[in-house]
Amino acid sequence: MSATRSPKVAERVAPKASDPQAPKKKRDEDDGPDFGTLLRAWIESHRASLVDSLRRLGKQPIGSFFTCLVMAVALSLPMGLSLLLNNVERLGGSWQRAAQISLYLQLDASPTEGENLSEQIKAMPGVADAEYISKEKALDEFQQQSGLGEALKELPQNPLPGVVLVTPNEVDKATLEALRQRLAELPKVQQAQLDLVWVERLAAILKLGDRFVFGLTVLLVSALLLVIGNTIRLHIENRRTEIEVIKLVGGTDSYVRRPFLYMGALYGFGAGFLSWGVLAYGLNWLNDAVVGLAGLYGSDFALAGVPVADGLSLLLGAVLLGYIGAWIAVARHLRELAPK
């Protein structure tokens, strides 16, 4: 063999010139995948979990529907009660008007002074509105309501004073009493009257209603968590072998937990949507009877439907409850799913 190598052999054996980009590429490979790759993998993993949850729920449409329906009933009761109370409040007038302060003016107060006093009171803190009722208007209303119209016409002069009706911003006994004392010191005001007994009764009724709605909400939310938790537990038991294999080959707890969390959120979404529909249909069905009853009393009162904001809040709350219930159920059984 010749001592000198051929050019081709020398080219193949000789070390190549170092590539200036080679160290950078090697460092990139050592650092692992970049952020974009990780983000795409994360999105794809969540998409696959969501699709898998939808597919599994679609395999049991009747069971999934009745589970959502049970959850919808539990959600509809407190929300429906709250909406009915709001409608009753609207029927009887606002609570602020129920606690109006009546300012009886002096008999020599002119209508101009009464109007000016009303505008002055409107600008005061703690006052929502103020309405001036002249002596003539007060007499006309008294004649119509008392049935003594003919007798009052025989009086030499109008005995009734002008009145300013003050509507407060909030119903609170201490605040109303302080406002009444401040109004009583205004010029041309002879007497400031406030029915504190009615305010106390009203506050007690509101407190009772708030506690009842809160207690009912807590009770039904607890039942809702139990329902979704038991449903997710059954899904976990049906997939126990599959989950043990996934964990055996290195699957993380978050990877195992993710499909069940999506399943709980989907149950919550279905329940919230059904609950919104049940409330809208129930109020519309009840409204026919309410309109007929109000018409007998000469009123045009009608029940208000479900506000869009309340409906969206109901839907979001249902999704969160389904997610939380699924998380609790999976966290409880995750330790039992370790491969043996």
- The reply to whether 313 and 265 lie within a common domain is yes
- The reply to whether 210 and 319 lie within a common domain is yes
The band of 287, judged by pLDDT with boundaries at 50, 70 and 90, is: confident
Share above pLDDT 70 across residues of the chain, in percent, rounded to a whole number:
78
Predicted local confidence at residue 276, as pLDDT: 92
Average pLDDT over the chain reads: 78
Averaged pLDDT for residues 312-324: 91
At 219 the three-state DSSP class reads helix
The band of 158, judged by pLDDT with boundaries at 50, 70 and 90, is: low
Q: Residue with structure tokens 């599959």?
A: 242
Q: Kindly tell me if the per-residue pLDDT of 156 is higher than 70.
A: no
Cβ burial, residue 271 (10 Å; 0-12/13-18/19+)? buried
Of 166, 194, 222, the residue at which a domain comes to its end is 194
Predicted local confidence at residue 93, as pLDDT: 52
Is position 25 within any domain? no
Q: What's the pTM?
A: 0.61
CATH number, domain with residue 171? 3.30.70.3040
- The reply to whether 131 and 275 lie within a common domain is no
Give ∠ CA 11-16-22 in degrees, rounded to 5: 155
Of 167, 194, 221, the residue at which a domain comes to its end is 194
Domain count, the chain: 2
At 10 the three-state DSSP class reads helix
30-44, 53-67, 305-319: range with lowest mean pLDDT: 30-44
Q: What residues does 167 pair with on adjacent strands?
A: 129
Give ∠ CA 337-338-339 in degrees, rounded to 5: 115
- The reply to whether 131 and 73 lie within a common domain is no
Q: What is the pLDDT of residues 172-200, one digit of tens each?
A: 778 888 888 888 888 888 888 887 677 67
For residues 145 and 49, which has the higher predicted lDDT (pLDDT)?
49
Is position 10 within any domain? no
User: What does the block give as tokens for 93?
Assistant: 């007038």
For 61, the domain range is 45-93+203-337
- The reply to whether 188 and 123 lie within a common domain is yes
Is position 38 within any domain? no
At 36 the three-state DSSP class reads helix
Q: What is the pLDDT of residues 204-262, one digit of tens each?
A: 787 787 788 888 888 888 888 888 888 888 888 887 877 778 777 877 777 778 888 89
The band of 7, judged by pLDDT with boundaries at 50, 70 and 90, is: very low
Of 163, 194, 225, the residue at which a domain comes to its end is 194
Is position 132 within any domain? yes
Is position 216 within any domain? yes
Share above pLDDT 90 across residues of the chain, in percent, rounded to a whole number:
6
Q: Kindly tell me if the per-residue pLDDT of 13 is higher than 60.
A: no
Is position 159 within any domain? yes
Is position 135 within any domain? yes
Neighbours of 304 (CB within 10 A): 11
